[in-house]
Amino acid sequence: MWKRSLNASLSAALRRTVAPTGRAAVRVRSSSQRLRRPPSLSSDAGIAGSSLLGRRDSLRCSGRSCCSESASDDGSAPKCWNCGAVAGKSAGTAPFLACGSCRSVQPVDESVDYFQIFGLEKKYDIDVSNLEGKYKDWQKKLHPDLVHSKSEQEKEYAAGQSARVIDAYRTLSKPLTRAIYVLKLEGVNVDEEETVSEPELLTEILEIREAVDEAADSQALRQIQSQMEDKLRHWYNSFASSLHARKFEDAQTCVRRMKYYTRVNEEITKKL
Ligand SMILES: [Zn+2]
């Protein structure tokens, strides 16, 4: 019984355009505040969640491809505090997190965004398979355990840079957190403690919750999870299209759905 109504609800949700007119509300909890301490080098940091989103709203993008600003664009290229090497020359095209000449870890530069940290074009559709290798490369240069013999100052830089690279990796490696971050760079904030007020989505949420609660076994749960993944793919694509067209309200609607279905999947994974 529930399968039929769930399926009907799922397919209806894929077709309709939803206007935020409802009054009823369901509180959606944020799942993004996570541990920020650097894990050991051997541990797997590829878990979901983003804690710190971009702190700069001034980066302007157009469509999928965005120009990038770096700290050196204003004529004051940062120099290594230790050997005086200039960023961009000694470090090639990599952002100046650690000096390319003397390898000293540099102070955190908030103007370097997460895409720049990984040498990526600022856009939603990125090749995630490249991220992990670059992330590990950075941790080999920045991890606080590797600078234990250095000054207290440099240890502090390493702790800050390492934590930021972890945030960058976690944020960009997941479609949902990456979407929120890309919007943030466009100056569009997504409320982490969002209230769902769209009647169709509310109805669907209740139906999916019921289906999850009543699922007889892990096979039934996996079936719901598979439906959520189909829906997520749909909303990732819708988000990319909305962003490309600079329709930020539509993009926010997509993010709301992505958040919800991602959370359902997380809840099901806990039950399995
Ligand atoms: Zn240097």
User: One digit per residue, pLDDT tens: the chain, 272 residues?
Assistant: 444 444 444 444 434 333 333 333 334 333 333 334 444 444 333 333 333 333 333 333 333 333 333 444 445 678 899 999 887 644 445 678 998 888 899 999 998 999 999 989 889 999 898 899 999 999 888 887 778 888 999 999 999 999 999 999 999 999 999 999 999 999 998 876 667 777 888 899 889 999 999 998 999 999 999 999 999 999 999 999 999 999 999 999 999 999 999 999 999 999 88
The alpha carbon of 87 and the centre of ligand 1 are apart by a number of angstroms equal to 9
The alpha carbon of 85 and the centre of ligand 1 are apart by a number of angstroms equal to 5
Q: What is the pLDDT of residue 28?
A: 38
The alpha carbon of 79 and the centre of ligand 1 are apart by a number of angstroms equal to 8
Q: What is the pLDDT of residue 144?
A: 76
- What three-state secondary structure class fits 86? strand
Q: What is the pLDDT of residue 11?
A: 41
The alpha carbon of 103 and the centre of ligand 1 are apart by a number of angstroms equal to 6
Q: What is the pLDDT of residue 141?
A: 87
* Every domain range in the chain assigned CATH 1.10.287.110: 71-173
**Sequence letter at residue 163:** A
- What three-state secondary structure class fits 9? helix
Q: What is the pLDDT of residue 142?
A: 87
The alpha carbon of 98 and the centre of ligand 1 are apart by a number of angstroms equal to 8
The alpha carbon of 104 and the centre of ligand 1 are apart by a number of angstroms equal to 6
User: How far is the C-alpha of 226 from the C-alpha of 44, rounded, in Å?
Assistant: 25
User: How far is the C-alpha of 144 from the C-alpha of 146, rounded, in Å?
Assistant: 5
The alpha carbon of 244 and the centre of ligand 1 are apart by a number of angstroms equal to 40
The alpha carbon of 263 and the centre of ligand 1 are apart by a number of angstroms equal to 44
User: How far is the C-alpha of 109 from the C-alpha of 56, rounded, in Å?
Assistant: 11
User: How far is the C-alpha of 251 from the C-alpha of 243, rounded, in Å?
Assistant: 6
The alpha carbon of 69 and the centre of ligand 1 are apart by a number of angstroms equal to 22
The alpha carbon of 53 and the centre of ligand 1 are apart by a number of angstroms equal to 28
**Sequence letter at residue 164:** R
Q: What is the pLDDT of residue 191?
A: 77
Whether this model's pTM surpasses 0.75: no
Q: What is the pLDDT of residue 190?
A: 83
The alpha carbon of 216 and the centre of ligand 1 are apart by a number of angstroms equal to 61
The alpha carbon of 50 and the centre of ligand 1 are apart by a number of angstroms equal to 31
Sign of the CA dihedral running 199, 204, 206, 207: positive
Q: What is the pLDDT of residue 199?
A: 86
The alpha carbon of 78 and the centre of ligand 1 are apart by a number of angstroms equal to 11
User: How far is the C-alpha of 96 from the C-alpha of 135, rounded, in Å?
Assistant: 15
Q: Domain 2-30+193-271, CATH 1.10.645.10 — does that match?
A: no
> Domain 71-173 belongs to what topology?
Helix Hairpins (1.10.287)
